Amino acid sequence: MRYVRFRDPAGATRRGELENGRVHFANDSYDLEEVDVLPPCEPSKIVCIGRNYADHAAEMDSDVPDRPLLFLKPPNTLAGHGDTVTVPEGKERIDHEAELGVVIGEQCRHVPESEAMDVVAGMTCVNDVSNRDDQRQEKNWVRGKAFDGAAPIGPVLATPDEVPEDAFVRSRVNGELKQDGSREQLIFSIPELIAEITTYLTLEPGDVIATGTPEGVGPLEDGDEVEIEVEGVGTLEHTVRIP
């Protein structure tokens, strides 16, 4: 199933099931275009994985890590389907990064790999928007990765059975295909990531793990229309504004 978190015509925040382009909540049904689509969850944090595709590590002239490379995006980075993301001004390179996002369904710590999928509520699309100018100059990547709106997420939460083991992960900018990877190319699998992350910190319901990006990241320009597509989830769309 695919669930949409949305604001209905009366302004109330709801969670409905998406079927055949319509959102169903209680006795009401709305065309998806009639409602304001919100991020599918409200994370306390987004745990991002760096260089989890070998081809992306190569294009960044970096080595593949021997354990998952972790960094955080706080809640201020959240943006939703249809939003306009305003990026920091005066930067030479702001990149798109298409990613499969894993949404956690329950509070968890010290989760073994064998039980990791039990704590997953579903999957979604993530764009790890990245300010390369500052990322290259700092170790903790706060300026590079944690600016407002740096993590568009959505449009839906798809239950794990909807997303194939070899699901494609793609990005398009102004309709042109930029990235075309697959979930099966992940260096560290979703269970491995959950086990590693929960060794060090507690994951809360709604938290997101952004599992890494495939080859083909590239710069964004003012007015660009970005699409992030994950097979089984759908397509997250947003625009870019550069002041």
Question: What is the per-residue pLDDT across 91-101, written as a single tens digit (0 to 9) for each?
Answer: 999 999 999 99
Average pLDDT over residues 35-50: 97
Rounded mean pLDDT of the chain? 97
**Percent of the chain whose pLDDT exceeds 90:** 96
pTM > 0.95 = yes
Residues facing residue 104 across a β-bridge: 120
Average pLDDT over residues 28-52: 96
Average pLDDT over residues 161-181: 98
Give 107-164 pLDDT, tens digit per residue.
Answer: 999 999 999 999 999 999 999 999 999 999 998 999 999 999 999 999 999 999 999 9
Separation CA 122–CA 226 (nearest Å) = 23
Give the confidence band of 34 by pLDDT, cuts at 50, 70, 90. Answer: confident
pLDDT of residue 33: 87
Separation CA 64–CA 48 (nearest Å) = 15
pLDDT of residue 154: 98
Average pLDDT over residues 201-228: 98
**Lookup: tokens for 176:** 């042109």
pLDDT of residue 50: 96
CB 170 within 8 A of CB 53: no
**Percent of the chain whose pLDDT exceeds 70:** 100
Average pLDDT over residues 187-194: 98
